[in-house]
Amino acid sequence: AEKVTSLGKDWHRPCLRCEKCNKTLTSGGHAEHDGKPYCNHPCYAALFGPKGGCLWWGHGGTEGAWGS
């Protein structure tokens, strides 16, 4: 299996997954919290981003301030 390095560790590519939704992540293309990987959106934004009032300009839903 292909090796990727992220969060100071080596991972098998399919093992680097979001702690919340289990989506496969790319090295350098994700967020971390307490040494664990999370997809930037929606998981990291929903769990650890600013709370309240930061939804996309009038669109509602659960989109955070970081886009995409």
Torsion of CA 54, 28, 68, 18, to 10 degrees: -80
| Long-range pairs for 39-42: beta carbons < 8 A, 24 or more residues apart | 40/66, 40/68, 41/66, 41/67, 41/68
Q: Which of 47, 46, 45, 67 is nearest to 56 (CA)?
A: 67
Q: What structural domains and CATH numbers belong to the chain?
A: 3-48 (2.10.110.10)
| pLDDT tens string 46-56 | 999 887 544 44
pLDDT recorded at residue 1: 67
Euclidean distance between CA atoms 56 and 41, whole angstroms? 13
Euclidean distance between CA atoms 52 and 28, whole angstroms? 28
- The model carries a pTM of 0.68
| pLDDT tens string 1-45 | 689 999 999 999 999 999 999 999 988 889 999 999 999 989 999
